[in-house]
């Protein structure tokens, strides 16, 4: 089951059913299935608190993924700062909705085992994000 909730922000304008179907299709493309994936949309201050408390990082970020998967079943909590997503969309010159969907699927890709800590794995992550976004918006 995929759930969406908020902390200190309004629920983003996404089609939760379509996004859930998309996430399931992406997972299936990696030979996996979705168990319990919980999205929490929040503000910068909340994600900074989580980053400090659980990861000992003292900086803002767009996403934090807590992976509880027992492959091939994906389970996890994905925390997304809508403030940082909005800032990144402006910085990269892309529509907010596109950046939000990119970050949503970024967390799922982490659950499948995709990393992004080296230049090579980061480039592979971007390729996989682009492929997944094409599944959501075939006319991109």
Residue 113 CB partners (closer than 8 Å, separation 6+): 71
What does the pLDDT read at residue 34?
98
Question: How does residue 139 score in pLDDT terms, banded at 50, 70 and 90?
Answer: low
Secondary structure letter of residue 72 according to DSSP: T
pLDDT at 137: 76
Kindly report the number of other CB atoms within 10 A of residue 127's CB atom. Answer: 11
Delimit the domains of the chain by residue range: 2-136
DSSP-H helix ranges across the chain:
16-29, 44-55, 82-92, 96-111, 119-136
Tell me the CATH number for domain 2-136: 3.40.390.30
How does pLDDT run across 85-133, given as a tens digit for each residue? 999 999 999 999 999 999 999 999 999 999 999 999 999 999 999 999 9
The pLDDT tens digits of the residues spanning 31-74 come to 999 999 999 999 999 999 999 999 999 999 999 999 999 999 99
Give pLDDT, residue 140: 55
The candidate with the shortest Cα–Cα distance to 23, out of 138, 129, 139, is: 129
């Amino acid at each position: 089951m995929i759930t969406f909730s908020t902390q200190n922000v309004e629920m983003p304008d996404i089609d939760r059913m379509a996004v859930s179907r998309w996430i399931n299709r992406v997972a299936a493309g990696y030979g996996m299935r979705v168990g319990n994936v919980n999205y929490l949309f929040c503000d910068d201050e909340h994600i900074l608190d989580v980053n400090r408390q659980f990861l000992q990082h003292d900086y803002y970020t767009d996403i934090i993924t807590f992976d509880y998967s027992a492959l091939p079943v994906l389970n996890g909590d994905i925390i997304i700062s809508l403030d940082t997503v909005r800032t990144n969309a402006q910085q990269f010159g892309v529509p907010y909705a596109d950046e939000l969907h990119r970050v949503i699927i970024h967390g799922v890709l982490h659950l499948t085992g995709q990393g992004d800590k080296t230049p090579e794995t980061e480039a592979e992550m971007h390729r996989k994000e682009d492929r997944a976004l094409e599944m959501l918006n075939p006319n991109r």
